[in-house]
Amino acid sequence: MTIGVLLVDDQALVRAGIKSLLDLSEEVSVIAEASDGSLIIDALESHEIDVILLDISMPVMNGIEALALLKQQNIATPVIILTTFDDHDSILKGIANGAKGYLLKDVSLDTLIDAIKSVHAGQRLVQPAITERLLSGMQHIRSDFEKPDMIEPLSIREKEVLSLMASGCSNKEIADMLCKSQGTIKNHVSNVLSKLGVRDRTRAVLLAIEKGLI
């Protein structure tokens, strides 16, 4: 089965380049394009889209705003953010708004295809180089972000909560999804942070991605 991709980037030459590369694969096909985030909904309604490749910096509606719109409308089509630069704020906002993958545009074709296949299969992928640059560039996090060698195993429920945290859900939203009280979810979140050896959600998500926990 060919994975149908929606390519969203304001630069026509970039779209043409990525499309020509992906056309070399028999497993992935660009079946729709858009020049800004505001056109994504129409494209999804007009085509059978399996994965969205989304640029961050675009006019009219940027990638983060587009992710927020998809989240607001409960559209679950997996999104890979594809960018040429390291914008620490945007990376975190992208993860918080449900991006399933995050790659630099200089990634190899094989890596891009593997990423598309991975998120289509329900996995999450952030290029290791991005994680390292993110931690290196965010001194206020790095200064007290000691990654433990050993992580205490998480329960099945804690893994569920961690995954929802990574999708940007609040305690109330997680409680509603799992049919639990907010107090119970707050306890689960505290347990997750404690077991991961971190003090907030940002560090928890970054560490979970790096360790392959989500």
- The pLDDT tens digits of the residues spanning 65-102 come to 999 899 889 898 999 988 776 666 677 777 777 888 88
The model scores a pTM over 0.75: no
Res. 141: pLDDT tops 50? no
Identify the pLDDT of residue 84.
72
The fraction of the chain above a pLDDT of 70, given in percent, is: 84
**Can you list the pairs that 82-88 forms with residues at least 24 positions away whose Cβ atoms lie under 8 Å?**
82/9, 82/18, 82/53, 82/54, 82/55, 82/107, 83/55, 83/56, 83/57, 85/57, 86/130, 86/133, 86/134, 86/137, 87/56, 88/134, 88/137, 88/138
